[in-house]
Chains A and B, each alone.
Chain A
Amino acid sequence: MIFTTFSYFLFLIPAALLFRATGPWFRPWVLVASGVLFFLYFSVTEFAGWMGAACIAIFIWEALLSRFYTSRSRWCLLGVAVSVGILAVFKYWNFLTGLATAGGANRWAWHGAFLPLGISFFTFEFIHYAVDRYHSRVERGTLGEYLAFIFFFPTLVAGPIKRFQYFVTGLRSPSRDWPLDWNRGITRILVGLVKKFGVADVLSSLTVHLNAADIPHASRPVLLLWLLAYAGKIYFDFSAYSDIAIGSGRLFGFAIPENFDWPYFRTNIADFWRNWHRSLTRWLTDYVFIPLGGSRAGRWRVSANVMTTMLVSGLWHGASLNFLVWGAWHGGLLVIHRWWVTRRGSRPAAPPTALGRFSSWAATFAAVTCGWAFFAMDLPTAALYFRQLIFG
C-alpha cells in the first residue's frame, strides 16, 4: 500500500526533517540513504521480496552508466537501450513471448515474473536523463545529485515523473519557507488520503462488479453507474497518490510536478490530456511524439505520430491488449479532434455559448468514460459490457 501505511509517514517525517537540517553537501545523500531504505523495505515487505530488493542493482548500474553520458555520446544511446530493455524484460516478457507464440503454449514464459517497485516510472526518468544529456539539455550533476534524483522516494513508485534540471535546482536550494511548505504539504497529504480512503476505495464497491460474471445480470443504468464509478475511482485514486507524493515532496522543500488539474471539467480531449497525468503526457510528448516528427509534418503523418504516441501510452499502462485498445481509443479521439480543429480553423471564431460549452464537456467526458471500459476490463469482458449496454 505504501502511501496508505503508517510506516510510510514514520519514515517520511524524519527523512524530511533530516534533509532540512543538513548542509548542501550532505543533502543529496540523505535522499539517497532514505530512498535506498525505502526501496528495500517496501520491496521486501510488499512486493517481490528479496528478488525485488535485489533490483536496487538496476539503480546502481544506471548511476554508474550515467557518469559516461556526454553530448552526442553513444553512452546515452546505450543508457536508453538498457532502460527500455529492463522495462521490456520485467514488464512485457510474457506479453511479447505470448504474442509470438499465439495459439500455442508459451515455451518462453517467465513463470516467476515480478515487477520491481516503480519500474514503469523510474525507467522513464532514466530515459529522460540520457536523452537530455545527449542533446545537452541538462547538466551532468554530481553522482550524489543523480542518485538523489532517481532514489527520491516520494516519487519513486508511481511518479509524478520528474525532470533532473528542475529537481537539481530544488536540491541545491530547497525552499526555506518551512511554515508554508509544511502547511501545504500536510494539507495536500491529508486531502490525498481522504480522496483515497473516502472516495476511491468506496467506489471500489461498485467497480468490483465490472467482471464477466456480474455484467450479464445488470441493467443498463447499473452498467452505466459501474463505469461512471470507475471513472471516479481511477481519478480519485491516482490524483490521491499524486497529492501524497507532491505533499511529501513539499515537506522536503521540493516542488514536484503537478499531475492533475480538474481533467474531468475539460471541454475537449486534447485539453483533457493536458490535465490528466500531466507528467506522463509531457514525457510522451518530449520523448515519443516530438522525436517521431511531432506536428511538423503532413496531416496523415501527424495523425500517425499521435496514434503511435497513444499506443505507447496504452502499452506503458499495462502489458495486455486491452491497454493497447485503450491507447488506440484515445489516439483516435485526439486525431479526430485535430482534424476538427483544423477544419474549424478557417472559420471566424465565435464566443462559445453555455450550451456549446456544456455539449463539448459532455462529449469529452462520455468519450473518456467509454475508454475506461478498456482500461478496467480485459477485451472479452469489455466487449461483453458494451454488448450488454447497447443491446441489453
Chain B
Amino acid sequence: MNLLRRLKDLADYVAGCTDTPPPGVSIGVASWAWALWWGALGLFVLVFCGQATKFIYVDF
C-alpha cells in the first residue's frame, strides 16, 4: 500500500495536481525536466489531435 501511495503522489505531482513534490523527488518548478516533460506531452497531443470528439459534459 505504501508503494501505491507513493506512486499516486508522484503521478499527482507530475500531472500538476499537487504543488509539493513527494518525498525523495527533487524536481523544482524551474527544472529543465519540466521542459522535456512538456515537450513529450506536446508531442503526444500533436500525434493524437486529429480526431477530437465533443467533450461529453459540454452541454450533452
Contact = CB atoms under 8 A, between A and B. Distances in A.
Given A179-B29, A180-B29, A191 B16 contact: yes
B16 A197 contact: no
B60 A183 contact: no
B48 A202 contact: yes
A98 interface: no
B41 to A, nearest CB: 4
Interface string B28-60: 011000100110011011011101111111111
A185 B16 contact: yes
Residue in A118, A159, A184 with the greatest tally of chain B CB atoms within 10 Å = A184
Contact of B56 (A1, A188, A194, A234): A234
B25 interface: no
A interface: dominant SS = helix
B57 A158 contact: yes
Contact of A187 (B8, B38, B47): B38
B12 to A, nearest CB: 9
A187 B16 contact: yes
A118 B55 CA distance: 12
B55 A158 contact: yes
Contacts of A158: 55, 57-59
A4 B51 CA distance: 11
Contacts of B30: 179
Contacts of B53: 200-201, 204
Contacts of A202: 48
Given A180-B29, A187-B34, A197 B45 contact: yes
Contacts of B59: 47, 115, 117-120, 157-158
A190 B42 contact: yes
Nearest to A159: B57
A186 B39 CA distance: 11
Interface residues of B, number: 28
A196 B16 contact: no
A247 B29 CA distance: 15
A299 interface: no
A193 B47 CA distance: 12
Contacts of B41: 187, 190-191, 193-194
Contact of B55 (A120, A194, A196, A262): A196
Interface string A220-239: 00000000000001100110
A241 interface: yes
A12 to B, nearest CB: 15
Nearest to A185: B16
Given A187-B15, A190-B38, A191-B15, A241 B57 contact: yes
Interface size class of A (residues with CB under 8 A): 35 or more
Contacts of A233: 56
Nearest to B54: A1
B45 A188 contact: no
Nearest to B48: A197
B8 A262 contact: yes
A1 B51 CA distance: 11
Contacts of A237: 55-57
Given A183-B34, A187-B15, A247-B16, A317 B48 contact: no
B17 interface: yes
A362 B33 CA distance: 37
Nearest to A42: B58
Given A190-B45, A198-B45, A184 B16 contact: yes
A124 interface: no
A318 interface: yes
B60 to A, nearest CB: 5
Given A1-B52, A241-B58, A258-B17, 11 more contacts: A158-B57, A187-B14, A187-B34, A190-B45, A191-B15, A197-B52, A202-B48, A238-B55, A240-B55, A250-B16, A262-B8
- Shortest beta-carbon contacts, A-B, top 7: A187-B16, A188-B16, A197-B48, A190-B41, A183-B29, A158-B57, A115-B59
17 contacts: A1-B52, A115-B59, A118-B59, A119-B59, A187-B41, A190-B38, A191-B41, A196-B55, A197-B48, A197-B51, A201-B48, A233-B56, A234-B56, A237-B55, A237-B56, A238-B57, A243-B15
